[in-house]
A and B are shown apart, each in its own frame.
Chain A
């Protein structure tokens, strides 16, 4: 029954998208964190998706192959009174771009919804198939 595979395919995509949503959440949560004692501020992360073949031909799921860190420079703000300020009075914030993250979040949630809808349709069709000939 090849339609059973739809759940594997869409399920893998939904979990990949939820991982992406997770990363977005941690990026947004750390949007205003400053550099710690080691001088390194939080770096925005991003997931990398990869196609994962699922056994039989044609069924292509998704897996998160890698989580990369953005190499962009952190935001530097002049604030000598800040406890995290360096010798020149600059505070280094994380390099998270809140607008980018919001767009990422919307895209991830839409893709997630798409996959859920696919699973719902497949479920309806399978249930109707079970009633075949009655």
Chain B
């Protein structure tokens, strides 16, 4: 073992990014490409009566105008409910209706504007609970007849339910009967956007022999292969997917959308290379966004503050198509109580169609959203019991020996140490539960929240790693992981450097992904790169070590058991002074007598998730994930009781990461998550007008946090190793966001005295809560 693990190591690609040298999808040369543009729906729900392409074809340079009538296939990763281009009906404003392919961008833009589409508007529905009422407009006539791509998805006939999951554990009725105090709260969280700074982009070309090449800003290059093959009957081996640097994903680039459309565009122009460019407005309205959520949370506890029962109902707004929404509803159900022991549990989690832009995975995979609901209710319960909210959480913190909502037995390996996190959070955040007056109409207050998350991945998700040597003895690390900002490829390099005991600068990382070259990595999602690809890299490192030892033993005339690989050299522990440098042995060894010994060392390692199961449809019992990461967060606000404006003073996180592999990089990732949570909770929302049209599809109307609005960030770690994970590390990349919206709402609820159960927490929303009149 070397020294590369546990040290602050700079990103491998740092200088590429600091010089403009890092290439993203649309930075690649496009000479010889046709340009494709989308026409999208201006209605939330409407019949398509007619499409007239004549005027569009009048634009010079137009090669093709493609509509839903040209494509029969449906797509969808879980449920095949989505047409590639709307056919007969549009189900959300922004839905792709046509593609224009033209010689250049101006021609494509002009022609798209000249396609005449005749619509007949239909009644629309914008919230999940409204979509479940009798007589609500149905988005899909027979959702249960769509092809299911997985076994555990349950679309309901004659309804807007794309899927549903239930958790039944213990006896909720008995638990509430034993409760001394019961509170019930209702919640509404609107959809919002990932808002990666790089707008999604994709290119496609099809060679004369049927080979398809897709270049895309995707978190899921290997899913692109599978889904494209499924939709268009192209053999998987004929599809090659290339992913350069990705300019932020946050889950939004996990689904397959533009790749399909670029393929369709290329296929209609004889396979010529096509570059599909969308606008920021289309990236927000047409491409999938973050889920909305409605919820009703009822918690009961005894007079010592111990939770006795929970009755939880969640209605996840997945928009017009299911995408990964059903699995977000499942993931939500699996962890629905938050990190608390609740022995008597009743939870229904429904994934509901509405005429919103469809939703997809977003940092936290539904956890930031349900955590908001649970943690707000925990605070209301603590308030009524007159118990300190942090102490209340300590009393109920989930511990080894408890079981998860899906009845997985929790132990010190598969569960982090929440109590240790809470204990550290107290001094870190300066928590004392007080609301402190600053002046006549300004107060300071804090709010806390716990978080937990497990990674829901398919039971057979895989990852792989390959290692080769350069002539100078440095190594190349090759995985299928996408570099989109989390720095995980640098972490993988640390693992390799440590295992081979070489300097981290001797590890070169292949940053871009090419599915012809890189071994499959399921998807770069769920904060699972360290666990999955990390294990693959460990195995590849062990593989290459074994080869070096075999060659070394022959070269040095000793047993391979005696061979040490350390500090860039191979030697026998019996004669440490006789060192062979890696560069002299990695490609086979040339002995002093000129004879050839051994072979070039090539490392390979594979990893597959094991032991996971689906949930029992009646009780929700099942092993959903290998482990749970836990943490505790706090936010401090300064609140103006007259203006209802506020400043966020500090935001703190203590998270059990298993082992601190790269301290600085990990703090940066956690801080980034907290920033995203603050931005989301304080100002971000998709607003819709009465016609169901998105009124905030630009960065001028959809505000993100700017510099100068950020708080003092504080991050500390707890280290409880996870068995079977490289170096004991736990998933942590998404987690900084999870408890922040709740902690902010708890802080503002404490400061204002209002019970704040909706997002975003704008001064206007607080003013309305106050009765909407100036005092």
| A associates with B | no
